[in-house]
C-alpha cells in the first residue's frame, strides 16, 4: 500500500504550469502596469485584475489550438551559432530563406510579438476597450516568454540531456519560491521603443546565450545533491507533489547569480514599454473615457469557454510531449 501511494505521488503534477508558470506571467503583467505614465495607468490600473488573470490566456490556448504553440518560442540554435547571423530578422526574409513551414516549426515568438504590437496599436487607434485589454494581456505573455532562456533552445526541457523538468524548474519553481521573498521589482518607468524589432531580437539573443548556462549549471549542481536532497514532496495547491526541493532551488538560483530575477525584471520593463509604444504610435489617445467600460456578453462567454476547454484540450504542449 505504501509503495502504491509513493507511485501515485510521483505521478502528481500541476498541469497548470506552463512557460513562465501562471504565477510569474501574472506577476509580470501586474507589475508592468505600474511602469506606465499617468495617461495610461488610469485605464490599465482600473483593469489590472483582467490584465493579471488573463496573462495566461495564450498558454490556455496553447493546450487547445495547435497553431498557438510556435508563438511562444524560437529554437534559435537550429540556425547556427550565436549570434545566429544565418537567420534573417525580418519575417519575409526568413521564410524566403527557410520556408514558412520550417520557420513556424522552429518557433516564431519574435515575429509574433511584432504582429501583436501592430494589433495593439490599431486597437488604441480605434479606442476599442476589449481589444486593448486582450491584446495587452496577450503581448505581455509572449514578451515574457521571449525572456526565458529555454524558450530559445531546442533542448527546451532538458529532454536531450536527461534533464527533463528543467523548463518548469527555471521559470515556475524558482519564481514561485523566491520572487515574493527575494526579488526586487522596483523598476524604472516604461520607455518608448524606437525599433521594436531590434529590441525584441536583442532579448531573444540574450535568452539564447543564457540557455547553455541554465543546462550546464543544473548538471553541475546535480552532482552535489543526491536524489533525496534534490527532490522533495511538498504541498502545492493542497496536493502533495514531488518537485525540486527548496534547498536545491535556492542553490540553483544562487549559481545562476540572479538570472531569473534579472530576466523577470527585464520582462516587466519590456511589457510596459511595448504597451507604451503602441499607445504613442496610435497618437496617444485619451483613455479616461474607456475606464468604466465593460466587456460584452460575447467576450465573457469567450473567456469562459477558454477556461472550460483548456483543461481538457487534446493538443499537447512541447513540455508535455517529452
Per-domain residue ranges for the chain?
A: 2-321
Q: Give tens-digit pLDDT for 117-161.
A: 999 999 999 999 999 999 999 999 999 999 999 999 999 999 999
Rounded distance between C-alpha atoms, residue 121 and residue 187, angstroms: 24
Q: How many CB atoms lie within 10 A of CB 289?
A: 11
Task: Give the DSSP letter of residue 235.
Answer: E
pTM comes to 0.91
Contacts of 170 (CB under 8 A, 6+ apart): 148, 149, 150, 214, 260
- Biggest distance spanned by C-alpha atoms of the chain: 67
Which helix (H) or strand (E) segment holds residue 231: the answer is: strand 231-236
Q: Give which of 34, 48, 27 is closest to 180, Cα–Cα.
A: 27
Per-residue pLDDT of the chain (322 residues; tens, 9 = 90+): 333 333 323 333 333 333 467 899 999 999 999 999 999 999 999 999 999 999 999 999 988 898 999 999 999 999 999 999 999 999 999 999 999 999 999 999 999 999 999 999 999 999 999 999 999 999 999 999 999 999 999 999 999 999 999 999 999 999 999 999 999 999 999 999 999 999 999 999 999 999 999 999 999 999 999 999 999 987 777 788 889 999 999 999 999 999 999 999 999 999 999 999 999 999 999 999 999 899 999 999 999 999 999 888 765 556 544 3
Q: How many residues does the chain have?
A: 322
Q: Is 295 exposed, middle or buried (0-12, 13-18, 19+ CB in 10 A)?
A: middle
2-321 under CATH 1.20.1050.10, yes or no: no
Q: What is the pLDDT, as a whole number, of residue 117?
A: 98
Amino acid at each position: 500500500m505504501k509503495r502504491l501511494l509513493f507511485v501515485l505521488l510521483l505521478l502528481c503534477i500541476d498541469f497548470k504550469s506552463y512557460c513562465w508558470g501562471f504565477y510569474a506571467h501574472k506577476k509580470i503583467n501586474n507589475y508592468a502596469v505600474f511602469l506606465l505614465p499617468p495617461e495610461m495607468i488610469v485605464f490599465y490600473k482600473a483593469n489590472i485584475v483582467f490584465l493579471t488573470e488573463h496573462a495566461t490566456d495564450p498558454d490556455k490556448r496553447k493546450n487547445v489550438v495547435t497553431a498557438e504553440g510556435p508563438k511562444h518560442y524560437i529554437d534559435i540554435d537550429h540556425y547556427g551559432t550565436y549570434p545566429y547571423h544565418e537567420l534573417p530578422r525580418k519575417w519575409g526574409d526568413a521564410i524566403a530563406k527557410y520556408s514558412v513551414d520550417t520557420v513556424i516549426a522552429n518557433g516564431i515568438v519574435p515575429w509574433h510579438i511584432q504582429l501583436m504590437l501592430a494589433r495593439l496599436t490599431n486597437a488604441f487607434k480605434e479606442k476599442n476597450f476589449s481589444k486593448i485589454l486582450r491584446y495587452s494581456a496577450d503581448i505581455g505573455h509572449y514578451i515574457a516568454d521571449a525572456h526565458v532562456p529555454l524558450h530559445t533552445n531546442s533542448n527546451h526541457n532538458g529532454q536531450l540531456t536527461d534533464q527533463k523538468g528543467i523548463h518548469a524548474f527555471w521559470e515556475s519553481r524558482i519564481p514561485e519560491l523566491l520572487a515574493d521573498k527575494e526579488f526586487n521589482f522596483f523598476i524604472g518607468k516604461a520607455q518608448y521603443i524606437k525599433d521594436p524589432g531590434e529590441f525584441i531580437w536583442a532579448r531573444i539573443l540574450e535568452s539564447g546565450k543564457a540557455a547553455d548556462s541554465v543546462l550546464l549549471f543544473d548538471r553541475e549542481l546535480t552532482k552535489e545533491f543526491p536524489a533525496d536532497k534534490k527532490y522533495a514532496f511538498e504541498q502545492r495547491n493542497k496536493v502533495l507533489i514531488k518537485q525540486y526541493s527548496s534547498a536545491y532551488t535556492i542553490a540553483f538560483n544562487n549559481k545562476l547569480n540572479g538570472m531569473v530575477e534579472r530576466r523577470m525584471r527585464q520582462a516587466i520593463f519590456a511589457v510596459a514599454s511595448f504597451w507604451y509604444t503602441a499607445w504613442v504610435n496610435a497618437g496617444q489617445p485619451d483613455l479616461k473615457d474607456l475606464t468604466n467600460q465593460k466587456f460584452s456578453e460575447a467576450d465573457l462567454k469567450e473567456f469562459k469557454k477558454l477556461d472550460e476547454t483548456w483543461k481538457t484540450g487534446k493538443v499537447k504542449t512541447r513540455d508535455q510531449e517529452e
